[in-house]
Chain A
Amino acid sequence: MPPSPCQICQTNRALILRPKNGHKLCKPCFLEVFEAEIHHTITSNNLFHRGERIAIGASGGKDSTVLASVLKTLNERYDYGVELILLSIDEGIKGYRDDSLETVKRNAKQYDMPLMIVGYGELYGWTMDQVVEQVGKKGNCTYCGVFRRQALDRGAARLGVQHVVTGHNADDVAETVLMNLLRGDLPRLSRTTSIVTSTPSATVSPNSNTPSHTNIKRSKPLKYAYEKEIVLYAHHKSLDYFSTECIYSPEAFRGSARALIKNLERVRPSAILDVVRSGEDMAKLVPGGGSDSCGGACGVRSKAVVPEAEDEEGGCGNSAERSMGGEMAAMEKRLVHDGQAAENGLETEITLPRLRELQPHRQSVKMGVDGRARKQKSQKGPAQTPRKLPQQKMGQCERCGYLSSQAVCKACVLLEGLNKSRPRTAIDIAGHDDEREQAVNEAVNGVRQVSIAAD
C-alpha cells in the first residue's frame, strides 16, 4: 500500500487513521486536531470559567494523564485562566495503586501542578487490601466505587475546589450507555451521558465542626474523545502513564459491554460516538432526563447540570470500576429495599432505628433540574409503583454529613458492615454514635496533602 499523505497538510506521511471520520493525518496535524476538539468541547459546553480552580481526578493511567497534559496545553494556549490541581485517590492496593501513584507524582512535576492524595486508609480506616481481606475478591469493587466517589469529593472540598474533571472518554460513555440499556435502566442514562454532573458533597470547615455542603461539579472534557486517539496522543507525545490492571478487578458485566464496544469499533469505527449520541438522544426522551435541550443536533446545549447519583461511575475509570455497575445496581436495590422495609416497620440488619424517625424530617435539597417532582411523589406512603425510579432526593448522611439520598450514606453503611466484623484488636470505632461521628470527622480532616513542589 503506498503511503498516503496527511489530509490536512498534504505533505507529511499519514500515521493516524481517525476512527470517528476515517481521516488520515500526520502526527503534528493529529495532535493539533485532537487538542482543538477538546478545546471545542470545553468552550461549547462552557465547562470552565476564568479564575476557576479545577481538580483533575488523576490515576496515573492514560486517560487522566492525557487529560492533564491537554488541559495544561489548552490553558496556556487559549488562556482559560484556570488553576489546575491533580487529585489522586490512594485506595490502598499494594502492587497496583502505590505504583500508579508514583506516575502521578512524576506527572505533577512534569506538568508543574500541585498534587493532593486522599487515602481510603485515612478517610475510612480501611484500605482496599484490608477490605478484600475481609470481604473477599468478589464484590469488593462496590466498596471501592462508593469510597472513591466520596474520597474525590472530600479531596476536592479539602482543596476548596468546586469542580473535578475526570478522564472518562467516549468509549467509557458508550459502554455505560450500553450497560444501562442492557439493564433496562433508562433513568440513569441522563446522568451518565451528561457532560456535566453535580455531586453534592459535605465539607467540614476547620473552624466550626459543622459540616457544610458544596455542590461539586464533575465534568468529562474527553467525553467525545476515542480511547484509541487518547492512547495515540499519549504515544505520539511520549506521555508517561501507568497501565497495569487493578489486581482485584474481575471482568464482569462492564467487561462484556467493553468487549462489545471494541468489537463494534473494529467493524464500524464510528459506532462508539454513534452510541454516545444515541445515548444523549434517548436520555432526552426519558421523562425527567435529558441534559441537553437539543442534544447537540443544533450544536447548542443547555447549561443544565444533571445531579449525579452517589454511586455513579467514579473517578479513575479503571477496569475495577468498569465492573462495578452490576454490583452497584444490586447494592442500590438492596438499600432501597431496606428503606422500604424500614418504612413498613420491619427490621433489617443494616437499617438503623433512627432511619425511620429521621426520614420524614430529612432536609431535602433542591437539585434544581428537570421535573424531579415526579420522583418525590414516589416517596408518599408505602404504596409503591411497580417500577420504582431511583430516588434522587438528597438529604444528609446522619453520620458523616455527606449528602445522601438515604439517611445513612452508602459509604457509612458499608463501613458499618466492615467494622462490625473487624477483629477486636483492630481500631474500634463502633462505639456510640457521637464517637463514631467524631471518628469520621477526624478521618475527614486527616486527608494527607502531598506537596510535590517542595521536593
Chain B
Amino acid sequence: MAEDASGTDGLQVTVEFTGGLEMLFSNRRKHQITLPVRDENDAAANIAYLVRYLCQNVMRDHRKELFVLDDTVRPGILVLINDGDWELEGGEEYEIQPNDNILFVSTLHGG
C-alpha cells in the first residue's frame, strides 16, 4: 500500500471547514487527514470518496444531512480545491493529490 507519491500509508491532505460548517466537525476549522490512496472499489481516491471518508471517520455530529444530501455535498456548500472552484477541477471526480488543500465553505449561514 505504501508506495504512493506521499511516501506514507496514505494521502496527506488538509481539509478545512468554514462558514459555519466547522460546528459539524468538532468546532475545528482545520483538519490534517491521512486519506487512503484507494477507495472501497480500489479506484483512486477522489472528492466523492473524501466526503464519504469525512462522514464516516471525522464527523462526530450526527446531522450528516447538513453536509451531505443525496450522496453529494449539500447544495449551498462551496468546495475549493487548492483555492479553486471544484467545478473547474472536475468536481467529485477530482483525484486527490498529496498535500492538497480542500476547503468546504457553507454559504447558508447568517447574513
Contacts and interface: CB of A to CB of B under 8 A. Distances in A.
Q: Do A and B come from one complex?
A: yes
Nearest to A1: B90
Interface in A264-319: 265-266, 316-319
Contact of A62 (B80, B89, B110): B110
B106 interface: yes
Interface in B68-107: 75-76, 78, 80, 83-85, 87-90, 94, 103, 105-107
Contacts of B19: 62, 231, 243
A246 B111 CA distance: 11
Contacts of B85: 15-17
Nearest to B19: A243
A212 interface: no
A243 B18 contact: yes
Given A228-B78, A231-B78, A262-B76, A243 B109 contact: yes
Interface of B: prevailing SS: loop
Contacts of B105: 231, 235
B55 to A, nearest CB: 19
B23 to A, nearest CB: 7
Contacts of B88: 1, 3-4, 14-15, 17, 24
B20 A244 contact: yes
Contacts of A63: 110-111
Given A62-B111, A230-B107, 6 more contacts: A3-B84, A13-B84, A100-B110, A171-B107, A227-B107, A318-B111
- CB-based closest 9 A-B pairs: A317-B111, A61-B110, A262-B75, A262-B76, A243-B20, A15-B84, A243-B109, A61-B111, A63-B111
Interface of A: 1, 3-4, 13-17, 24, 27, 59-64, 100, 167-168, 171-172, 227-228, 230-232, 235-236, 241-246, 258-259, 262-263, 265-266, 316-319
Interface of B: 18-20, 23, 75-76, 78, 80, 83-85, 87-90, 94, 103, 105-111
